[in-house]
Amino acid sequence: MTLEGVSLPEDILSISFTNVDCENIVVEQQTETVVYDFYPDEYGNVTSIETTEVVGSTITCTMADSLTGGSFKPIVKDAYGIIPLSEELEDFVKEISVDSISGVDTLNMMGGDTLYLTGSGFPSGMDDGSEISVTLSDGTVCAI
């Protein structure tokens, strides 16, 4: 995962997307050299000061687990708490994909059939508070 920003602190404590943490956090600062010239003194000498300024930051990390499908913004924390995100930051979207459905050939109208779905973007368990349902083509909602 790569995040870009401006003047992000180098001492990031944690990054998470919902309940999935990022590990191996590396912060790289992009810098540029700036020269400031001051007005000449009474002898006509111009003093210049050269300094290095941070013009951008890149954070890379490895997701500790697969993200569940949905729309997310990162939660980035340093020693002072949560770092505010730019209002222009768009959600990271993780798609949910169903590759196959199996179980029964004919569904019982009264329910109770067990269907098996395979794909990606599903949560690793239901103990994290996720609420998942599948809507069939006739509009029937099946809770998982």
Whether 88 and 26 map to the same domain: the answer is yes
d(CA 104, CA 99): 16
Taking only the tens place, the pLDDT of each residue in 66-82 is 778 888 899 999 999 99
Kindly tell me the burial class for residue 87, based on how many C-beta atoms sit within 10 Å of its own C-beta (0-12, 13-18, 19 or more). Answer: exposed
Q: What is the pTM of this model?
A: 0.63
pLDDT of residue 130: 67
The total number of structural domains that make up the chain: 2
Strands (E) in 40-123, as ranges, are: 48-63, 70-72, 75-78, 81-82, 92-94, 97-102, 116-120
So what's the pLDDT on residue 97?
86
Question: Which residue range is the domain that position 6 belongs to?
Answer: 2-93
Q: What is the pLDDT of residues 4-56, one digit of tens each?
A: 887 788 889 999 987 789 999 999 988 899 888 888 888 888 888 889 888 88
Judge if 87 and 105 occupy the same domain: no
Q: Are residues 82 and 15 in the same domain?
A: yes
